[in-house]
Amino acid sequence: MAMRTSKGNVTAQARKKTGSTGGRYPVFDHKSAMAAIKLRHHSKAVSAGAVLAKVARWASAHSDKAVLKAVAAAREADKE
């Protein structure tokens, strides 16, 4: 199954498989994880903390240290 279209957008199947409530914030690669961190406050259906927790789980499972560092920075920014 292709997770991205030829233009680089996330496919509907990828949203359904890897997204949170209603297909929001699909996380399946580095690019989608960074986008989820950036857009974490753009939904009323999913809290920012839940998005960061999901991204952190993905990053830990895939040993993506850059994403883990971005999650830590986002959590610090959200404290303020």
User: What's the per-residue H, E or C state across 25-38?
Assistant: CCCCCHHHHHHHHH
**Number of independent structural domains in the chain:** 1
Tell me how crowded residue 64 is: count the other CB atoms within 10 A of its CB: 18
Task: Tell me which residue range forms the domain holding 37.
Answer: 12-79
Asked whether residue 17 is domain-assigned, the answer is yes
Tell me the average pLDDT across 31-54: 91
Tokens standing for residue 42: 């753009």
Which of 72, 62, 77 has its CA nearest to residue 32? 62
Give me the pLDDT at residue 14, please. Answer: 84
pLDDT > 90? residue 70 = yes
Asked whether residue 22 is domain-assigned, the answer is yes
**For residue 51, what are the CA distances in angstroms to 6, 14, 21, 64?**
26, 16, 10, 16
Asked whether residue 51 is domain-assigned, the answer is yes
Percent of the chain with pLDDT over 70: 98
Asked whether residue 3 is domain-assigned, the answer is no
pLDDT > 80? residue 38 = yes
Cα atoms found within 13 Å of the Cα of residue 44, Cβ hemisphere only: 0
Asked whether residue 72 is domain-assigned, the answer is yes
Q: How confident is the model at residue 1 (pLDDT cuts 50, 70, 90)?
A: low
